Structure 1
Amino acid sequence: MADGPSILVIGPRWVGDMVMAQTLFSALKQVHPGAAIDVMAPAWAGPLVARMPEIRAWIDAPFARKKLEFGKRWRVGRSLAGRYDRAIVMQGNWKAALVPWFAGIRRRSGYRGEMRFGLINDMATLPPEMKRKTAETFFRLAGGGSFRPPRLSVDEENQSALLAGNHLTRGGFAAFMPGAEFGPAKRWPEEKYAALARTFLAGSLPVVLLGSVNDRAVTNEIARLAPGTIDLAGRTRLEDAVDLLAAARVAVTNDSGLMHIAAAVRTPVVAVYGSTSPENTPPLTDRRELVWLKLDCSPCHRRECPLGHMNCLKTLDVRLVEGAVRRAIGAGTPA
């Protein structure tokens, strides 16, 4: 039995947001040390939530994106009736607030979002300047505590098996995460990643490509242009990516969910920004180098370049990123 409140958190639907959500979970534990915190999130999130020591349990959110599924939400909500003292809804849409309401949870916290008066009865205020600062926005929902960067636990047994199976050693490879689910305006071009990979391979530092099955077209092209890279995109589970990133010497990445995972396992991160800004969603670690051209048209926060040229990423030279890598790993060469 918990000696603090039982809290149901309706979690985010994106990998990076789920990692940043740990800023809320750790703050809740500071405010309520005995709290039992459960997180409702999509199936992919279960293994990630399991790496957060603040969380008691993950609960599946079996709802399709952009679908109301009113009856399913009612059934899930009623199955949770009587179990929680408080709910915190991290998503901004009104559908996400239905399950706590159907569950009869008396205190339902969140930001106003999509006209959720009544569904949310403990309304938090979000200053306009905080709108895109995701981690800080999540943290404020705790109502107290100090801001702590996410820290994911590592399964050393799984890590060792993954390293052995791919002929890698701890600290002996670079991880590249060239994908971004948000859209192409976040992706540094494949030929740039490939040029950087060839530099590393020439210095005898193996390069591992990580990502989801949706990133395979991107990673396949990099592997074609940089023979010898190890393409694991779509071939690993999310928890495998956590453990592999924890063993990497450096992670080179777009602004993506895997970037936040790399930061949360304390691997040096070199993050490339285009349509988004490192002032809003930086990797939450002091072991980072941020590469951003700060063009007049950036950040536009669009999935695709509204001007059609992608200059914020296409004109970002490989040498800038290579220099950032050297600074991140504190050595004169990548190898």
Structure 2
Amino acid sequence: MRPILVFCLPAIGDFIRCHSAIQIIAATFPGHPIDVVTSPMAAPLARLMPHVRKAWTVEKHWNPGLTERARLAREIRRESYQAAYLLTSSTKAALIPWLAGIPERIGYPRELQFGIVNRLPTGWLKTFVAFGPRKTRLVEQVCAIATLGEQTADNMRLPQPRMVVSPEDISAWRIRHGIDAARPALALYTSEFANFRSWPAERFISIARDHSRRGWSVWIVGGPREREASAQIRAALPEAVDFTSTPDITEAMCQIAASTVFLGVDGGICHAAAALGGPCVLIFGSNRAYETGPVNDHVRFLEPPISTPSWIRATNGVSEERVLAALMEAVAQVRRPQGA
């Protein structure tokens, strides 16, 4: 069976949302291998996604010049893909399957790529001429490309993004880092404290102290952007473990998968935590969760009251008490027997 190529968005959170569309394509073409194209930063996550065979990489924002795109097109041509789904509307991205001679190149011609994109979803003109803010969520847009614009049945829900870290990989990670599997762990993703998406430092520290007093491990996850915040938390709570120097993103996925519950703010890592399927509590502010948050059902969102003016770019309206209650409920839900 000839494989199918999916051009995904480059940012981590957006790439994970594309997995909803990948699942639709896999259901439409059972047995066909599916490969993806994304940024080097997001590509390692493809190995954790069901239905994805392998990932091609191209620089974020499709920056490489024509020579680099032509080289990638030559490599892709050898795979004999039957179709390319362009979940990104970038012309630079669309040039690659066109140069590779992939017969069907499916997507929205938002940058007037007529001919380069040669199969348009039903209703493409309506989306092409729409003005103002985006009317649909990103996950709905990429799924509309996967379904060729056909409306799903009323009772059919869009697939939720999913990633899987094997129990063997989690066990190996615990052994490497001397982690006691019997001790519960709270994974914190803070972003930068100066970022309007974050939550006040003193509240993260208070939550961390509360869990530490009750015998929990506290793990701070993320990357270079979170290192300063991690140092601030550890100055107040030295026993907290700083994982922000993790060498690669798949290691971070092991950290999240091995934790008991994840507490985070708006960002790519929160989409990863949601897709991994564990207990997940997310704090959102002026970026409302419905528009930019994960679409996974099990996630608990905490937002300021709806009456808070949208121009207040802060998460201060979310209290510590609400967060503690949500964390306790998230963990209890997992421990509760099914049907209880």
TM-score with structure 2 setting the length = 0.84
Q: In structure 1, what is the equivalent of residue 320 of structure 2?
A: 318
One-letter amino acid of the structure 1 residue matched with residue 244 of structure 2: A
Of the three residues 153, 160, 174, the one matched with 1:149 is: 160
Whole-angstrom distance in 2 between the partners of 1:98 and 1:56: 22
Change (3 A) 1:247 1:122: same
SS in 2 for 1:193: helix
Long gaps (5+) in structure 2:
334-340
What residue in structure 1 maps to residue 338 of structure 2?
Answer: none
Measure the CA separation in 2 of the matches of 1:185 and 1:318. Answer: 17
The secondary structure found in structure 2 opposite 1:24 is helix
Aligned pairs for 1:94-109 (under 5 A) are 94-109=91-106
Residue type of the partner of 1:169?
A
| Secondary structure of 2:300's aligned partner | strand
Partner of 1:67 in structure 2?
Answer: 63
How many Å separate the matches in 1 of 2:259 and 2:184?
7
Quote the residue 2:112 is aligned against.
Answer: 115
TM-superposed deviation, 1:170: 5.8
Structure 1 vs Structure 2: percent identity of aligned residues?
25
Q: Is 1:140 equivalent to 2:144 in the alignment?
A: yes
Contact 2:303 2:317 in 1 (8 A): no
Deviation at 1:231, TM superposition (A): 0.9
Q: Residues 283-335 of structure 1: CA distance to partner in whole angstroms, max 9, x if unpaired?
A: 3333221111135443xxxxxxxx6x64x31343222211221221228xxxx
Aligned residue runs from structure 1 range 170-185, under 5 A: 172-179=184-191, 184-185=195-196
Structure 1 range deviating more: 50-59 or 322-331: 322-331
Contact 1:186 1:273 in 2 (8 A): yes
Are residues 242 and 64 of structure 1, via their aligned partners in 2, closer, same or farther at CA, if it must alter by over 3 Å? Answer: closer
The 3 A distance-change label for structure 1 pair 71 and 236 is closer
Report the alpha carbon displacement of residue 76 of structure 1 after superposing the two structures with TM: 1.4
Contact 2:219–2:241 at 8 Å: present in 1 too? yes
CA drift of 1:40 comes to 1.3
Structure 1 residues 25-40: aligned runs within 5 Å: 25-40=22-37
> Match for 1:100: what amino acid?
P
Alignment CA distance shift 1:247-1:78 (3 Å) = same
1:250 aligns with 2:247: no
C-alpha deviation, 1:37, in angstroms: 1.0
Are the equivalent residues in 2 in contact too, given 1:180–1:256 (CA < 8 A)?
Answer: no
Match of 2:337?
A: none
Q: Secondary structure, in 3 states, of the residue corresponding to 2:196? A: helix
**Which of 7, 32, 47 is equivalent to 1:10?**
7
Determine the C-alpha separation between the residues in 1 that align with 2:192 and 2:275. 18
| Equivalence for 1:188 | 199
Q: Report the secondary structure of 2:77's partner residue.
A: coil
How many residues of Structure 1 are paired with residues of Structure 2 in the alignment? 316
Report the Cα offset of residue 175 of structure 1: 0.7
CA shift for structure 1 position 236? 4.5
Which one-letter code corresponds to 1:313 in the other structure? Answer: T
State the secondary structure of the residue aligned to 1:104: coil
Q: Is residue 149–residue 284 contact of structure 1 (8 Å, CA) maintained in 2?
A: yes
Alpha-carbon distance in 1 for matches of 2:247, 2:73: 33
Answer whether contact 2:4 2:81 (CA < 8 A) is retained.
yes
Structure 2 residue 204 is matched with structure 1 residue 211: no
- Residue identity matched to 2:275: A
CA apart distance, 1:103: 0.9
After superposition, what is the alpha-carbon deviation per residue over 1:98-130, rounded to whole angstroms, capped at 9, x for unaligned? Answer: 111111222111123333233222223375686
- C-alpha distance in 2 between matches for 1:328 and 1:64: 35
Give the 3-state SS of the residue equivalent to 1:276 in structure 2.
Answer: coil
CA contact (8 A) 1:179 1:211 kept: yes
Between stretches 127-136 and 212-221, larger displacement belongs to: 127-136
Contact 2:192 2:229 in 1 (8 A): no
Q: Cα distance 1:199–1:236, how it changes in 2: closer, same or farther (>3 A)?
A: farther
Q: CA deviation at 1:166?
A: 4.2
Pair 1:255–1:94, CA change in 2 (3 A): same
Alignment partners' CA distance in 1, 2:171 and 2:72: 38
Deviates more, 1:246-255 or 1:63-72: 63-72
Report deviation, 1:254. 0.7
Give the deviation of 1:92 after TM superposition. 2.5
Aligned twin of 1:77: 73
Runs of 4+ in structure 1 displaced over 6 angstroms?
Answer: none
Name the CA distance, whole Å, in 2 between partners of 1:167 and 1:106: 50
Stretches of structure 1 that go unaligned for 5 or more consecutive residues are 299-306
> Take 2:109 and 2:211, find their aligned partners in 1: how far apart are those partners?
48
Q: Distance in 2 between matches of 1:180 and 1:16?
A: 17
1:78 is displaced (CA, Å) by 2.8
Secondary structure of 1:111's partner? coil
Structure 1's 236 and 318: CA in aligned 2 closer, same or farther, altered over 3 A? farther
Cα distance per residue 1:237-268 (max 9 Å; x no partner) = 21122222222211001122221222222211
